Amino acid sequence: MSVAPSVSYSITVRLEVPSRGRAVSDLTHAVEQAGGAVTALDVTPYRYERLRVDVTCAARDTDHAEEIVQSMRAIPGVVVNKVSDRTFLLHLGGKIETNVKVPLRNRDDLSMAYTPGVARVSLAIAANPDDVRRLTVKRNSVAVVTDGSAVLGIGNVGPYAAMPVMEGKAALFKRFADIDAWPVCLDTQDTDEIVRSVRIVMAGAGAAGTAVLKLLLASGASDVVVCDDQGAVYPGRPGLGDSLQWVAEHTNPSGYAGNLAGALPGADVFIGVSASNILTGAHIATMARDAIVFALANPDPEVDPDAAGEHAAVVATGRSDYPNQINNVLAFPGVFRGLLDAQSRMVTDDMLIAAARALAGVVSPAELGPHYIIPSVFHPDVASAVAAAVRDAAGGRHH
The pLDDT value recorded for residue 143 is: 85
List the catalytic residues.
114, 169
Q: Write the pLDDT tens digit of every residue in 194-218.
A: 777 899 999 999 989 999 999 999 9
Q: Does residue 397 have a pLDDT over 80?
A: no
CB proximity list for 34: less than 8 A, separation 6 or greater: 64, 67, 68, 71
pLDDT (mean) for 164-192:
86
Structure pTM? 0.63
pLDDT at 2: 61
pLDDT of residue 1: 45
Average confidence (pLDDT) over 270-298 = 95
* pLDDT tens string 104-156: 899 899 899 988 899 999 999 999 998 998 999 988 888 888 888 878 657 78
Average pLDDT in the 326-351 region?
90
- pLDDT score, position 153: 59
pLDDT digits (tens, 9 = 90+) for 54-81: 999 999 999 999 999 999 999 999 999 9
Task: Please write the tens of the pLDDT for every residue from 232-247.
Answer: 999 999 999 999 999 9
Predicted pLDDT at 174? 86
SS (H, E, C) the chain: CCCCCEEEEEEEEEEEEECCCCHHHHHHHHHHHCCCEEEEEEEEEEECCEEEEEEEEEECCHHHHHHHHHHHHCCCCCEEEEEEEHHHHHHCCCCCCCCCCCCCCCHHHHHHHCCCHHHHHHHHHHHCHHHHHHHCHHHHEEEEEECCCCECCCECCHHHHHHHHHHHHHHHHHHHHCCEEEEEECCCCCHHHHHCCCEEEEECCCHHHHHHHHHHHHCCCCEEEEEECCEECCCCCCCCCHHHHHHHHHCCCCCCCCCHHHHCCCCCEEEECCCCCCCCHHHHHCCCCCCEEEECCCCCCCCCHHHHHCCCCEEEECCCCCCCECCHHHCHHHHHHHHHHHCCCCCCHHHHHHHHHHHHHCCCCCCCECCECCCCCCCCCHHHHHHHHHHHHCCCCCC
- pLDDT tens track for 13-57: 999 999 877 888 999 999 999 999 999 999 998 888 889 999 999
On average, the pLDDT of the chain sits at: 91
